[in-house]
């Protein structure tokens, strides 16, 4: 507009992420970070991070924040119509290329039957009955991430911090659960009689954690971090088994303890025991491609928020363990 100074933008502003404008617009309309975060189905820390990043990229403050209220600055007021026009234009562009036919199915990787990802999918289907959300079964988020970026999958679940940073930059994530970890033992294992297995009781054991499987690198990395300094070895690679039945057959043959999560489906002739002292946590996020617009994604995000609130999925139990980088990412600080 004539007579107004330009934003003191950094060079990266030429490639401004629309997500930052969504964050700004939600806060500008709600004038409340908590309500804006709930509206976008994101953690408040993640929303604050995006607003701060936008302020850095534009070289100006957009909000006045006090303990009592949030208000737009003069530059925030000036940005508001621009942000609305940019996001409206983006929505119009996506709609123009979506076609007039029915919305395509959303392909959702739940990793394996019986996990919490399946519960999120079921809730999302109930929230969006007019959308078709199709389950797929990949083996690990590392493998699924490649399928996401290639457009052969739309959403998956897993340990986001375990992905390569260059891959993470092309994906979005929403924390779903800190899932307590467990160990699966042969019925005749000397630890099988315990109700819960102290982590140090596994010293000297070789525990299977997907070593050698290129699709589960994030899980194997988590195991190595957990076992470090405790005298626990990551078991040597086993043949990569496709499907639950083949996995069970191979594990029965190898007879190694298997690192799992507390809701991992039961396997014949084994027992599943939670790990304690400390309680190791597997950080689970919903993950999808940046820029993906689909009613099914909105339903998955809403379903994850609802279930996490109902069941305390994002509460860390006392005496728990999680790598520092995972904790930063799960709280929106990465």
Asked whether the beta carbons of 3 and 55 are under 8 A apart, the reply is no
Q: What is the largest CA-CA distance in the chain?
A: 81
DSSP type of residue 199: G
DSSP type of residue 161: G
Q: At what angle do helices 141-150 and 217-227 cross, to 10 degrees?
A: 150
pLDDT at 238: 67
Name the more confident of 240 and 12. Answer: 240
pLDDT at 1 over 60: no
- pLDDT, tens digit (0-9, with 9 covering 90-100), for 27-40: 998 899 988 887 77
Number of Cβ atoms within 10 Å of the Cβ of 306 = 15
- pLDDT, tens digit (0-9, with 9 covering 90-100), for 191-206: 999 999 999 999 999 9
- The stretch 109-128 carries a mean pLDDT of 93
pLDDT at 122: 97
Asked whether the beta carbons of 4 and 13 are under 8 A apart, the reply is no
pLDDT at 200: 95
- Dist. CA 101–CA 150, nearest whole Å: 23
Asked whether the beta carbons of 148 and 154 are under 8 A apart, the reply is yes
Give the confidence band of 230 by pLDDT, cuts at 50, 70, 90: very high
pLDDT at 91: 72
Number of Cβ atoms within 10 Å of the Cβ of 16 = 16
pLDDT at 68 over 90: no
pLDDT at 77: 94
Name the more confident of 7 and 237. Answer: 237
- Dist. CA 151–CA 129, nearest whole Å: 23
Name the more confident of 113 and 275. Answer: 275
Rg (CA), the chain: 22
Q: Are strands 279-289 and 155-158 parallel, antiparallel or unpaired?
A: antiparallel
Give the confidence band of 251 by pLDDT, cuts at 50, 70, 90: low
Backbone phi, then psi, for 78, in 5-degree steps? -70, -35
pLDDT at 250: 57
H/E run at residue 302: helix 295-311
pLDDT at 11: 46
What is the percent of the chain where pLDDT is above 70? Answer: 87
Domains contained in the chain, CATH given: 11-96 (1.10.10.10), 106-178+281-330 (3.40.190.10), 181-278 (3.40.190.10)
Quick check: bond before 204 cis, omega within 30? no
What is the percent of the chain where pLDDT is above 90? Answer: 59
Give the confidence band of 293 by pLDDT, cuts at 50, 70, 90: confident
- Dist. CA 285–CA 177, nearest whole Å: 7
Tokens 């042969």 belong to which residue?
186
**Weakest mean pLDDT among 34-38, 119-123, 298-302, 308-312:** 34-38
Q: At what angle do helices 18-30 and 44-58 cross, to 10 degrees?
A: 110
- The stretch 116-132 carries a mean pLDDT of 96
HSE-up of residue 315 (Cα within 13 Å, Cβ side)? 8
pLDDT at 240 over 90: no
pLDDT at 242 over 90: no
pLDDT at 217 over 50: yes
Instruction: Give the global pTM.
Output: 0.73
Asked whether the beta carbons of 156 and 176 are under 8 A apart, the reply is no
Centroid of chain to Cα 181 = 17
pLDDT at 94: 65
80 burial (CB, 10 Å; 0-12 / 13-18 / 19+) is middle
326 Cβ contact partners less than 8 Å away, ≥ 6 residues apart: 159, 161, 222, 283
- pLDDT, tens digit (0-9, with 9 covering 90-100), for 130-175: 999 999 987 799 999 989 988 889 999 999 999 999 899 889 999 9
Number of Cβ atoms within 10 Å of the Cβ of 273 = 22
pLDDT at 109 over 80: yes
Compute the mean pLDDT over every residue in the chain, rounded to the nearest whole number.
87
- Dist. CA 295–CA 132, nearest whole Å: 9
- Dist. CA 62–CA 58, nearest whole Å: 9
């Amino acid at each position: 507009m004539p007579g107004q100074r330009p934003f003191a933008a950094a060079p990266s502003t030429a490639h401004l992420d629309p997500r930052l404008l969504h964050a700004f617009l939600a806060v500008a309309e709600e004038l409340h970070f908590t309500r804006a975060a709930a509206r976008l189905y994101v953690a408040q820390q993640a929303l604050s991070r995006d607003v701060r990043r936008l302020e850095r990229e534009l070289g100006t403050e957009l909000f006045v924040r006090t303990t009592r209220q949030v208000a737009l600055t003069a530059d925030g007021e000036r940005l508001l119509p621009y942000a609305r026009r940019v996001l409206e234009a983006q929505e119009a562009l996506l709609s123009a290329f979506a076609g007039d036919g029915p919305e395509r199915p959303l392909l959702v990787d739940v990793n394996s039957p019986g996990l919490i990802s399946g519960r999120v999918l079921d809730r999302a289907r109930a929230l969006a009955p007019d959308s078709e959300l199709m389950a797929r079964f990949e083996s690990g988020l590392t493998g699924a991430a490649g399928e996401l970026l290639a457009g052969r999958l739309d959403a998956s679940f897993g340990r986001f911090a375990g992905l390569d940073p260059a891959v993470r930059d092309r994906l979005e994530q929403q924390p779903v659960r800190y899932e307590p970890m467990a160990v699966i033992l042969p019925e005749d294992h000397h630890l099988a009689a315990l109700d819960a297995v102290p982590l140090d009781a596994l010293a000297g054991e070789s525990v299977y954690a997907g070593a050698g499987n290129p699709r589960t690198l994030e899980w194997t990395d988590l195991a190595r971090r957990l076992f470090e300094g405790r005298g626990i070895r990551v078991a040597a690679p086993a043949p990569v088994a496709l499907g639950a039945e083949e996995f069970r057959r191979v594990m029965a043959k190898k007879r190694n303890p298997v690192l799992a999560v507390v809701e991992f489906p039961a396997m014949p002739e084994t027992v599943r025991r939670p790990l304690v002292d400390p309680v190791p946590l597997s950080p689970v996020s919903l993950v999808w491609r940046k820029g993906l617009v689909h009613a099914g994604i909105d339903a998955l995000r809403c379903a994850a928020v609802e279930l996490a609130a109902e069941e305390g999925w994002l509460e860390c139990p006392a005496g728990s363990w999680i790598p520092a980088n995972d904790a930063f990412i799960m709280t929106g600080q990465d």
